[in-house]
Amino acid sequence: MNIVQEGVGVQGDQIKFAQYGHLATRFLELLRDGLHGPMQEETQPEMDDDHIVGRYIYVNPPVWGRTKVFYEKSGNGKEELLFCHTAGSDSRQYHGVMNDPRMMEKCTMYAFDLPAHGRSFPGQHYVPGNHTNTEDSYVGCIKEVIKALKLNKPIVCGASMAGQVCVSVAIRAEEVGAGGTIPLQGCDYLTMDRQFHDKSPVVN
């Protein structure tokens, strides 16, 4: 996670750790499954119909500039929810909840792909190979999406990076036009010291 914490670290060759750490992790996963059986996962029922509809809108968020953003919608309930995806991902991670009959009855749900993510286009200020995301750009993008979709004080929900931004959205709710937030894995401060091998050509 690139997080430097007291009492936790890697001793030895950090490049080798970055190159082969995933193999050790996979070995331990297989060993655990062999000893205790596969992990229990909540399964989703097979469906013949998908209720999600996708479209494009134009927004002009800070940092990224004007861009064509992809969003999806499902449900017709009274409460509006806006889902924000995790770093490097896109709105498909919410397809399970957006197809849940209970949620569709109670909520109208929206999820969008950040500029240069998923099916959204890069913004007009995007420099290839130099993706930048700041609090202002992410909060500003959420604000632009809420405005473009004419949402009425939606609840903004996200996990991980999106959970972090939900804390900012809560603080800046009046500016953004949000009625509330659900920040999963969000906190007020997170140390993310970049390691020297993050962009090494010998590390995937």
Is the sign of the CA dihedral 134, 135, 138, 143 positive or negative? Answer: negative
pLDDT of residue 20: 87
Tokens 């202002």: give the residue.
136
Least confident of 83-87, 91-95, 196-200: 196-200
Q: What is the mean pLDDT of the chain?
A: 88
CB atoms within 10 A of CB 100: 18
Confidence of residue 110 (pLDDT cuts 50, 70, 90): very high
pLDDT of residue 192: 62
Distance between CA atoms of residues 63 and 61, nearest Å: 7
According to CATH, the superfamily of the domain at 53-184 is Alpha/Beta hydrolase fold, catalytic domain (3.40.50.1820)
- Whether 156 has a pLDDT exceeding 60, the answer reads yes
Q: What are phi and psi of 158, to 5 degrees?
A: -165, 165
Of 155 and 45, which is predicted with more confidence?
155
- Whether 17 has a pLDDT exceeding 70, the answer reads yes
- Whether 90 has a pLDDT exceeding 60, the answer reads yes
